[in-house]
Amino acid sequence: MIERAPLPVMVAEQRAIAVMRRLGLSRVQQVAPRLHAVGLTVCEITLDGDEAIPSIRWLAAAGFTVGAGTVLSVESAAAACDAGAEFLVSPRLDPELVTWSMTESVPVVPGGLTPSELAAAWELGASAVKLFPASLGGPAYLRAIREPLGDIPMIPTGGVSSVTAADYLCYGALAVGIGGWLTAHEDLEEVSRRAAQLAVSVAAQG
């Protein structure tokens, strides 16, 4: 029997992961309080930014449940965990990364799009799978693939908004990852408005 590292409880409770891609530490420090104000405290910092590790460290110290995204190697995974990351997300299935994560008891969420890719990640020992890019098939695609793969917890990511988040959750997603629509807007007041919309949409799905 595979012993999977469980995702942090807050991921399943909040059902939304705010993805911050290449924002830089100062911008993370501006965006994060606006998410926190509406109860969104699960964040993912992608490792393809120059200040990813300091951003993870800052969010962890600020009390957020923080994961590392775009994890492409065991070395970067270890560095993120040392900084305070509680889970790892990758756009692909990397068997070495999954094996390392299981050995270290670190939750890992590999990415995939097809049923075969998603099933392979789950069978290898993933904590959940990232349906990516979710926008290619939309909520209807999630509903279709969950019919044969309903035992696999899925986190649609890529092109998700507050409207589609509700649909994904309605069709059985464990949580949704929301990046550009939520965190990349230049206007911080708009970030606050969208965060509030998302919080309401997620709460409506129970």
Which residues are 20's β-sheet partners?
45
Query: What does DSSP say about strands 154-156 and 87-89: parallel, antiparallel, or unpaired?
Result: unpaired
Give the span between the Cα atoms of 132 and 19, in whole angstroms. Answer: 13
Closest CA relative to residue 69, chosen from 1, 112, 17: 17
State the catalytic residue, choosing from 44, 123, 147, 186. Answer: 44
Give the span between the Cα atoms of 12 and 140, in whole angstroms. Answer: 21
The pair phi, psi for residue 100, each rounded to 5°, is -60, -45
Closest CA relative to residue 16, chosen from 169, 167, 125: 169
Task: Decide if 130 is catalytic.
Answer: yes
Give the span between the Cα atoms of 120 and 64, in whole angstroms. Answer: 30
How many other β-carbons are positioned within 10 Å of the β-carbon of residue 182?
Answer: 27
State the catalytic residue, choosing from 13, 96, 130, 147. Answer: 130
Give the span between the Cα atoms of 117 and 150, in whole angstroms. Answer: 15
Which residues are annotated as catalytic? 44, 130
